[in-house]
């Protein structure tokens, strides 16, 4: 029989191997899923794992998807390490896009490229504002940051709809709910003119490195980690729980807002009701697959963006439902949670022993007086 036994200490090998094993399980289950749908599993899986890496254009689109996931996941990693559960990064992403779009629409023909900085700054401040509401309610009224941040996602979505259906609606947009196209001066510069990838990729990679320094090489990062791992020890050491709350939430909200600004002033070039794309929720999986480590989130963001692109390709070429992308994301998360059990537990095979009654030979029975 199989039995789980607690390890004396966490396994460093399984901590590294668990995401790889989870990916393998996801691929196997995906193979069975496509076979059950009557699709060629090898063709379908190649759309997820090979096609997004097959050309310069494909790599460019991969980077376009990975940048917002990476930025949001970096911010969430800091929050989760501090034991603060910001589940509403999607709302902060939307607010960042709204604030960035509001600045971009005020540009005129004479506006210079320097406005891009203010567009991105507005996105950061918008995300911080939305996360600050969560931090204030948690700090002042001890409200659950999980519920508050999640509910604010719907408020942000309604706020976006108000603007694109109302005061910001393009008067020449044939009644479509969208803003005007942002002027070229306000759009994020591209790395290569013929491809869609822009300087957001460089910004995301630089911020990943700086976040690594913050978490693992600064006293402030040490305070955040101690507060998350051992709140009682943090209080005894005199670390401020309020400071950790506000720092983590504002940092996470700013990163999500920056992702929204880069999306609005980059690939989209305008605001539409389709700005919410689920990046804020998918980035939760990215953060955990990346082990809440800034460098690990780089690789997990690439993997998750492959799922996004693969799902779109499978939908157009094989006729599978659009929800398949979410299925793969959920499979990866559940497989990771299951494999993470092996970090603190080991599986042992123990044979079941059968205890037979011992029969005493005839004549060996002893009386009470013997």
Q: Taking all residues of the chain, what is their mean pLDDT, rounded to a whole number? A: 90
Residue 230's pLDDT band (boundaries 50, 70, 90)?
confident
The 8-class DSSP code of residue 51 comes to G
| pLDDT-above-90 percentage for the chain | 70
C-alpha 207/C-alpha 255 separation (Å) is 9
Residue 351's pLDDT band (boundaries 50, 70, 90)?
low
Asked whether residue 370 carries a pLDDT value surpassing 50, the answer given is no
Asked whether residue 59 carries a pLDDT value surpassing 50, the answer given is yes
Q: pLDDT for 161-182, tens place per residue?
A: 999 999 999 999 899 999 999 9
Asked whether residue 290 carries a pLDDT value surpassing 60, the answer given is yes
Residue 369's pLDDT is 47
Residue 172's pLDDT is 92
Residue 359's pLDDT is 58
For the segment 249-266, the average pLDDT, to the nearest whole number, is 97
Residue 64's pLDDT is 96
Residue 363's pLDDT band (boundaries 50, 70, 90)?
low
Asked whether residue 185 carries a pLDDT value surpassing 70, the answer given is yes
Residue 236's pLDDT band (boundaries 50, 70, 90)?
confident
C-alpha 90/C-alpha 78 separation (Å) is 16
Residue 225's pLDDT is 83
């Amino acid at each position: 029989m199989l039995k789980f036994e607690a390890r004396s200490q966490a396994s460093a090998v399984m901590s590294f191997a668990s995401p790889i094993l989870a990916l393998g399980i996801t691929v196997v289950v995906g193979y069975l899923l496509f076979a059950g749908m009557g699709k060629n599993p090898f063709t379908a899986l190649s759309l997820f794992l090979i096609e997004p890496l097959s050309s310069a254009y494909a790599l460019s689109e991969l980077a376009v998807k990975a940048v917002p996931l990476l930025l949001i996941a970096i911010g969430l990693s800091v929050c989760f390490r501090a034991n603060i559960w910001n589940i509403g990064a999607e709302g902060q992403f939307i607010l960042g896009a709204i604030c960035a779009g509001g600045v971009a629409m005020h540009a005129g023909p004479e506006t210079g490229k320097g406005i891009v900085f203010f567009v991105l700054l507005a996105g950061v401040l918008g995300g911080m504002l939305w996360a600050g509401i969560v931090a204030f309610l948690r700090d002042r009224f001890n409200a659950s940051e999980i519920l508050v941040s999640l509910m604010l996602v719907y408020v942000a979505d309604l706020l976006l709809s108000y603007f694109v259906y109302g005061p910001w609606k393009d008067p020449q947009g044939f009644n479509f709910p969208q803003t005007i196209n942002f002027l070229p001066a306000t759009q994020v510069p591209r790395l290569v003119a013929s491809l869609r990838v822009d300087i957001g990729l460089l910004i995301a990679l630089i911020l990943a490195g700086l976040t690594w320094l913050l978490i693992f090489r600064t006293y402030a990062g040490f305070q955040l980690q101690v507060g998350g791992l051992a709140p009682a020890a943090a209080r005894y050491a005199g670390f401020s729980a309020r400071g950790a709350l506000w720092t983590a939430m504002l940092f996470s909200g700013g990163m999500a807002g920056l992702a929204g600004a880069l999306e609005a002033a980059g690939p989209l070039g305008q605001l539409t009701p389709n700005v919410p794309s689920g990046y804020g929720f998918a980035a939760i999986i990215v953060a955990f697959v990346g082990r809440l480590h800034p460098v690990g989130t780089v690789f997990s963001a690439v993997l998750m963006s492959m799922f996004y692109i693969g799902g779109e390709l499978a939908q157009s070429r094989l006729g599978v439902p659009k929800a398949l992308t979410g299925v793969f994301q959920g499979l990866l998360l559940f497989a990771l949670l299951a494999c993470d059990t092996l970090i603190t537990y080991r599986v042992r095979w123990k044979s079941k022993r059968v205890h037979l009654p011992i029969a005493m030979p005839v004549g060996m029975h002893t009386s009470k007086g013997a």
